[in-house]
A and B are shown apart, each in its own frame.
Chain A
Amino acid sequence: MKSLLVFEYRRGKLTEANLELFSFAAALGAETAGFLVGRESLLPAFSGKLYLADIALCKDYNPELHAGLILQAAQKENADNIVFIHSSYGWDLAPRVAAKLKAAQISEITGIIEGKFETGCCNGKMRRLVQPTTPKAVLTIQEGAFTFTGKAEGIPVVEKTEATAPAPGLEFAGYEEPEKREVDLSKAEVIVSAGRGIGKKDNVPAIAELAKALNGELGASRPVVDAGWVEHNRQVGATGQIVSPKLYVACGISGAIQHLTGMRNSEFVVAVNKDKEAPISEVADIMVIADVMPFVAALTGKIKQ
């Protein structure tokens, strides 16, 4: 079996996530070749063939062009599957490659069980075991599901791919920086985060009070920030801040993967939720099954005593 691993730059840099592609291929028992839209001066470390397209010509984002180049590489390698990280780059690109290849795509794979792919569903509460019916498959893997423990080494054998002009109809116009962070949650020892389960904006001060009682910072999940209950610079998650406090208290947070990505490295996690099956339970050291606000009030009161 052969896998074509699609590496990605994020804002011009290689990230740790790329290494998980190797773990995934190893778990599949597949030989590998790589593909990257990037620069020769910054390549992933591995011994094998790397198809390299020049990022200056192909742009950071031009999915139709990138998809075409990936297909060429996959055909040259006769790859059985093409593997992406399930990221804003990968989930945008993978379906285009799958469509052109007339192949199955399986998204956000969390595991391999007897050669079949496990993937999350129902907001992370359930799992599906999925099998392609096509000879080739396009796969995206959940970031964090295939942790790389080995040592990345080697120098790839680069084969430059011919980059044609970007496809018409779509133009990448550049990046916008995230807003300035007045709150740096990455250094906080204690974070108490509010989720949609707190019910209403008026309940945010009570969560903040618990944070204060623990000498910590207030955090928030994405829906709470989208609803305007808490400002964005306190958002914990893949598109907010990545945190690793000594204590993380999740109040009314169900635990969507985008949130778990941001806080799974916390040393100790207390989750308060009415739903015993909420996916936050996967990372919680203590799962408190209760109405959030009365519990938070009681805990704040006891700490202050």
Chain B
Amino acid sequence: MKILVCVKQIPDMASKFKPNAANNWFTETDLAFRINEYDEYAVEEAIKLKELQGAEPSDLVVLSIGPGRVVEAIKKALAMGCDRGVHIQDDESYKSDPWQTASLIAAYAKKENFDIIFTGMQSQDRGSAQVGVTLADALGYSCTTTVVNFSFEAGIITARRELEGGAKGVVKLKMPAVITCQLGLNTPRYPTLPNIMKARKKEITVLKAADLAPEAARAVTEKFYHPVKKGGGLVLEGEPAELAGKVLEILKEKTTVLRG
């Protein structure tokens, strides 16, 4: 079985974000990068599926698009258990719309004939929730999204989609298929030291985005900014004991929950 998992490297979401010079995304200065959380679940599910193949031949590729730093994300996925990496080198990938991103992956993946492709359901930084589905469309694969439970038996995928209110929709798919992963799908493993050492020998193929016939953008970011504060709640800073006292006074004054 041939499996592809796509990962994006994103900044820590607790970071302070500042607009870049072009005012169309954040500046990368002072940001620490990691694998998009949704994609970690995708990597884990891909590895579990590979392990399920036992002695059957299998090939699990991890792909990431971006500048040199994204190799770290690929290495982590290799240390978790992917077989080989593909880095689509693109220093300006932050400008790409989801259609362009999906098209680049499709340009690579169409020659590889993957049976299953896993992606996160969205990235934490852009959050468009489009790339996986758009990729499936470009490859002519079936696709379902927001998956919180995945199983594979006798050539049929059974996926449970998370719906509003906590119910799940059960979907059966034939391969080839794209599955987009929701948080909580599994418990992503930590790479062990021996596996980190082993991963150093795994192959990472570098492709240039420009060689994959990139598509023109269908949407462009004109401005990147902090949200306008609505309401304007009270901001309190200080020592815990002093803050607790202030909050308690306000609660007594503004709410009824401490009366009676």
Do A and B assemble together? yes
Task: Assess the A61–B220 pair: CB atoms within 8 A.
Answer: no
CB of A141 to closest CB in B, whole Å: 13
Against A, the Cβ 8 Å flags (1 = close, 0 = not) of B228-260 are: 011101111110110111011011001111100
CB of B236 to closest CB in A, whole Å: 5
Is the C-beta of B81 less than 8 angstroms from some C-beta in chain A? no
Cβ contact of B169, chosen from A61, A96, A284, A294, cutoff 8 A: A61
Task: Assess the A286–B247 pair: CB atoms within 8 A.
Answer: yes
Is the C-beta of A268 less than 8 angstroms from some C-beta in chain B? yes
Is the C-beta of B170 less than 8 angstroms from some C-beta in chain A? yes
Task: Assess the B248–A289 pair: CB atoms within 8 A.
Answer: no
Cβ contact of A286, chosen from B230, B236, B245, cutoff 8 A: B236
Complex formed: what's the CA distance from A176 to B217 in Å? 39
Complex formed: what's the CA distance from A177 to B238 in Å? 46
Task: Assess the A295–B240 pair: CB atoms within 8 A.
Answer: yes
Binds A, one of B13-21, B59-67, B83-91, B197-205: B13-21
Binds A, one of B50-58, B70-78, B109-117, B134-142: B134-142
Chain A minimum-CB-distance residue to B134:
A95
Is the C-beta of B173 less than 8 angstroms from some C-beta in chain A? yes
Q: Which residues of A contact B97 (CB under 8 A)?
A: 104
Q: A residues 219-254 with Cβ under 8 Å of B?
A: 222-223, 225-226, 232, 235, 238-240, 246-247, 254
Q: Please judge, given known A-B contacts A96-B133, A246-B255, whether A290 and B240 are in contact too, CB under 8 Å.
A: yes
Q: Which residues of B contact A100 (CB under 8 A)?
A: 137
Task: Assess the A95–B170 pair: CB atoms within 8 A.
Answer: no
- Among B167, B227, B234, max chain A CB count under 10 A is at B227
Complex formed: what's the CA distance from A225 to B169 in Å? 20
Q: Please judge, given known A-B contacts A126-B26, A126-B226, whether A276 and B172 are in contact too, CB under 8 Å.
A: no
Task: Assess the B167–A11 pair: CB atoms within 8 A.
Answer: yes
Q: B residues 118-174 with Cβ under 8 Å of A?
A: 122, 124-130, 133-134, 137-138, 142-146, 158, 160-174
Chain A minimum-CB-distance residue to B185:
A226
Task: Assess the A91–B164 pair: CB atoms within 8 A.
Answer: no
Is the C-beta of A56 less than 8 angstroms from some C-beta in chain B? no
Complex formed: what's the CA distance from A289 to B247 in Å? 12
Task: Assess the A298–B127 pair: CB atoms within 8 A.
Answer: no
Q: B residues 180-233 with Cβ under 8 Å of A?
A: 183-184, 216-227, 229-231, 233
Task: Assess the A289–B235 pair: CB atoms within 8 A.
Answer: yes
Complex formed: what's the CA distance from A299 to B230 in Å? 27
Q: A residues 79-130 with Cβ under 8 Å of B?
A: 86-88, 91-92, 94-96, 98-100, 102-108, 116, 120-123, 125-130
Task: Assess the A92–B233 pair: CB atoms within 8 A.
Answer: no
Complex formed: what's the CA distance from A178 to B248 in Å? 37
Task: Assess the B240–A297 pair: CB atoms within 8 A.
Answer: yes
Q: Please judge, given known A-B contacts A175-B169, A282-B229, whether A107 and B128 are in contact too, CB under 8 Å.
A: yes
A-B CB contact pairs (8 Å), 7 listed: A10-B164, A86-B129, A95-B129, A126-B224, A133-B220, A274-B14, A284-B233
Extra 8 A-B pairs, beta carbons < 8 Å, given A129-B223, A267-B255, A287-B235: A128-B221, A170-B174, A172-B170, A178-B166, A222-B183, A239-B166, A285-B233, A288-B236
Q: Enumerate chain A interface residues (CB-CB to B < 8 A).
A: 10-11, 60-61, 63-64, 86-88, 91-92, 94-96, 98-100, 102-108, 116, 120-123, 125-134, 137, 168-179, 189-190, 214-216, 222-223, 225-226, 232, 235, 238-240, 246-247, 254, 267-270, 274-277, 279, 281-291, 294-295, 297-299, 301-303
Q: Enumerate chain B interface residues (CB-CB to A < 8 A).
A: 11, 13-14, 16-17, 26, 97-99, 122, 124-130, 133-134, 137-138, 142-146, 158, 160-174, 177, 183-184, 216-227, 229-231, 233-238, 240-241, 243-245, 247-248, 250-251, 254-258
* Shortest beta-carbon contacts, A-B, top 7: A178-B166, A298-B244, A226-B184, A95-B133, A169-B142, A104-B218, A99-B137
